[in-house]
Structures are given as C-alpha cells and as structure tokens.
Structure 1
Amino acid sequence: MTTVTTRRSDRRISPVFLGIVAVTAVTGWATWTGFAAQPGVAVFLFVTAAWIVSLCLHEYAHARTALHGGDVTVGAKGYLTLNPLKYTHAVLSIVLPVIFVIMGGIGLPGGAVFIERGRIQGRWKHSLISAAGPLTNVVFALVCTAPFWLDALDGVPADFRFALAFLALLQVTAAILNFLPVPGLDGYGVIEPWLSYGVRRQVEPFAPFGLLFVFALLMVPSVNGVFFDAIYAVLDTLGVGDVERYCGEDLYRFWQGTSDFCAAVS
C-alpha cells in the first residue's frame, strides 16, 4: 500500500488560485446581472478566468493522482496548491492556452506537471495519471452545459448562457485534443505504459513536437473541418446549439464589436 505523506502547507490552496476564483465569481455575477456597461468585457473576463481555473484543476488532477500513485514529491513542488505559478511549464500550462483562446477560440492542452514516473508502480496507475487531467475538462464541460442538457435555461440571462456555451466549447476542444494518442499529449500517456519498450524508445524523441504536429494538421482545411464537426456534434449532444456557441465567441471578442444578430437575441 502506498503511503501518502505531504506537509499541510504543501496542500494549502494558493491565494493566487483563490484570487482567480474570485475574479471568476465577480465577473460571472456581472455577466449574469448585466452590471457591466460593456457586456463583452464581463464575458471576456469571466470566460478567461474560468478557463484558467480549469487549467489549474487539470494540472492538479495530474498531480493529485500521481501523489496517490506513489510520487510523494508533487507536494514539495507546489503542485497541490493549485498555484499556476508553481507549474513546471507555466507558459505552456497557462499563458499559451490563454493566448490561443483569445486569438483562436480553441482550448489548447496545457503542459503537464513534472511527475517522477520512476516512483510509480503499475501500468494502470500511469495511465490514470495521464487521463486525470483531460477527464477534469470533461467534468468541467458537463458542469458548463448542465443548464442546457437539463433543460434548465428558464431565467438564465442570454449573455451568461452564451458565455457558458463558449466556455464549454473550450473544455470540449481541450478534452478531445488532450485525449489524442499523440506523443507529448495525455492521450499518448494513457496508452504508453502498455506499449513495448522498443516502441516507446522510438517514439520518445517525437514527444516535444506532438502538439505542433497536431496544430499543423489542424491547418489543413479538411482536417480542421472534421475536427470542429466533432466538437460541434458533442456540443449538440450536450444541448448547446450553434446560436449559443456563435454568440458566446462573438461576445468574448468584444473588441471586434458584437454582431447585430447576437445583439438582437441578447
């Protein structure tokens, strides 16, 4: 049996994370009530802050699962505090995903925390550690879309509904991208323990370029179309229609001006 030993301070939630949660709550309230003079600003801040919260939870899920799998060093590294500044790849985990959301409206997979895999015994544990992060995005997407698939939208303001739809889109894209069995992504980490040693050695040099390869493929129109068709199909299944998704992204990019259509349905 694995003994989990971490100091209490290693598990104390960071004030940085609490501050991000506070921004999410305040801007979510502003989006709901229409308090902001410019609704798009409130939506932008709410979605961005909530997206960072989900990124922190994604990395925390990796670390917490690794802790129970046998890597007791994750606590001393600060991974259990939910502090985004403690991640090994802070730029990949937080900064770059936020930039991609602002520029392209896509949920970029973050860089995983550094796990000392040699401390962990058992292939299932290794697979679960890799799967824990994107599963967090799946749960986040289900929470965001709950009002839609529960048919509980009565009384939910349009702007808040649109913001949830766009946030759900980001979570679905992050989950699908992360689960791709491409070296360097969590999906490959799930299957890697089950591959032969020879195959893993051959694939290892390509891991740093896996994400670049995926985005190069997404630049191909036919591949891009298939990918987003899958995203929209998942959102449709969760009750999020094209109008909500489109207007959520439209409001998020408030600096481009809100379309007449979305302004009319708000």
Structure 2
Amino acid sequence: MTTATSRHSDRRISPVFLGIVAVTAVAAWAVWTDFAADTRIAVFLFVTGAWVVSLCLHEYAHARTALHGGDITIGAKGYLTLDPLKYTHGMLSIVLPVIFVIMGGIGLPGGAVFIERNRIQGRWKHSAISAAGPLTNVLFALVCTAPFWFDGLSGMPDGFRYALGFLALLQVTAAILNFLPVPGLDGYGVIEPWLSYRIRRQVEPYAPFGLLAVFVIILIPSVNTVFFDAIDGVLRALGVDVQDTYCGRNLFTFWEPRDEFSCGPAGL
C-alpha cells in the first residue's frame, strides 16, 4: 500500500506545471479576444508559457521513455510530475532556453533529466530515450501548425495566428538543433549506442561543449543563412509563411520598437 501511494505521488502532476499551463491559457484567451490593453504583452506571456510547457514535456518524454526502458528510479526523482524545479540542471532546461527565446527567437535545446543508463539494456531503448525529447518538439510544432493546414485560420485573430507562427518557429528550431548528431545533444544520444566503445570514449570529453560549438558555428553568416533557410523551408511546408513568424516575433518582443512591416490591423 505504501509503495502504491508513493508511486502515485511520484507521478502526480505538479502544481507548478499546472500554474504555468493556467497562465498560458489565460494569456492565449487574452490574445484571442484582444482583451489585454497591450496585445504584445499577452502574446509574450502566451508564447513564453507555451514554450516552457513544451520544455517540460520534452524532459517528461525522456523520463517516461527511460522508465519504460528499465530505469525505475525516474519516479523518485520527480521527473514524472512535469515540475521544472525537479530538473538536475534547471538553468540549462528552463532558464537559458527562455533567455535565448527573448534575445533572439531561437529554440534552445535543454537537457536536464539524469537517467541511470546502466539500468537500461538494449541499444534501441537508449536511442528511443534520446529521441523522445525532440520528437515531442516535433509533435508540438505539428499541433501549432495544424490550423495553417486545414483552413483553420478563418476567423482566427491575427495576433493569435502570429503567436502560433512564432511558437512553431521555436519548436522547429529546437527539434532541428536537438537532432544534430553533436555530442551533448539528443541527436548524438540516438546514434551513440551504435558506436564503438573506443569512439564513445574519445568523444565523451567534448560533450559539455557540443551545444556551445553549435551556436558558435551558427553565428558564421553563411551557416546562419543555410540554417534559417532550412527552418523557413520546414515552416513553409507546414503552411507557416515568413510574415507569420516575423510578425509573431515582432509582437513577442514588446519592449522593442514596432517595425514598419505590415502585421495585420494597426491595433496589433
């Protein structure tokens, strides 16, 4: 009985997560109804809240897959509660991704759940655990862009449409970055079980610097152009055009002066 009760508490959704969802829902309603005095602040709260929710779901997907793979310690660590305060590296998983979104509109991959890999047998299970996180971003991007496919934009307020477009940009960026086969990112975690022991040992010291190296490389103008062209191509295939993402970021950064680029009604 004690074990069952403990297991139930380990998987109870955290009030912290529910609070984030509530703020996101209220902000979404304010954007949709144009209730807020400043639509841009409502868009900021909606997109930021939804982004944090997606980060929590990303880490939850890693943890849940690890639990089914054999790591029975996941529940006791609090990872199944969706509480971002339980992550081993809250700075990497929540704070830095939010800061990067605010600074440049890039979906920074997080990485914070500690998985006891020695408890998991089978290379496919290890690959699935690493892939589960970015696949969550892919799913989130599909949900955000679904209205763009099925003519669901008719009757949708421009502010809400642009917010969805910008949120989709963040999810696609996070998915692409996470799937890069670079040490320290989930993409490398997918292929790592299939590499020889010698290669894994040689690569291991560079894992903490993988994400930093990716962002340094992205700053190279030619690479930056190719990277964002690829993201724009994916978004266009999902029905989201440049105006949607541009105007979404324009609304999101409420502290910056409005650009002259046309973004729907003048009230936005």
TM range (shorter): over 0.9
Normalising by structure 2, what TM-score? 0.96
The alignment's C-alpha RMSD in Å is 1.4
| 1:44 alignment partner, SS class | helix
The one-character-per-residue Cα deviations of 1:53-87 (angstroms, maximum 9, x if unpaired) are 00000000000000000001010000000000000
Kept in 1: contact 2:165–2:245 (CA 8 A): yes
Deviation at 1:152, TM superposition (A): 1.4
- Give the match for residue 94 of structure 2: 94
Kept in 1: contact 2:60–2:79 (CA 8 A): yes
- Give the match for residue 211 of structure 2: 211
Deviation at 1:6, TM superposition (A): 6.9
Distance of 2:114 and 2:12 partners within structure 1: 19
Distance of 1:33 and 1:206 partners within structure 2: 49
| 2:73 alignment partner, SS class | helix
Unaligned runs of at least 5 residues, structure 2:
none
Kept in 2: contact 1:184–1:209 (CA 8 A): yes
Deviation at 1:263, TM superposition (A): 4.9
Distance of 2:114 and 2:254 partners within structure 1: 36
AA matched with 1:245: T
- Give the match for residue 16 of structure 1: 16
- Give the match for residue 70 of structure 2: 70
| 1:254 alignment partner, SS class | coil
- Give the match for residue 254 of structure 1: 254
- Give the match for residue 83 of structure 1: 83
- Give the match for residue 227 of structure 2: 227
Q: Could you list the runs of 4 or more consecutive aligned residues of structure 1 that deviate by over 2 angstroms after TM superposition?
A: 257-266
Aligned ranges 1:125-144 → 2 under 5 Å: 125-144=125-144
Distance of 1:9 and 1:262 partners within structure 2: 50
Normalising by structure 1, what TM-score? 0.97
The one-character-per-residue Cα deviations of 1:111-156 (angstroms, maximum 9, x if unpaired) are 2310000000000000000000000000000000000012211010
Distance of 2:264 and 2:20 partners within structure 1: 32
| Percent of aligned pairs sharing the same letter | 77
| 1:88 alignment partner, SS class | coil
Aligned residue pairs: how many?
A: 263
Unaligned runs of at least 5 residues, structure 1:
none
Distance of 1:115 and 1:44 partners within structure 2: 33
AA matched with 1:142: L
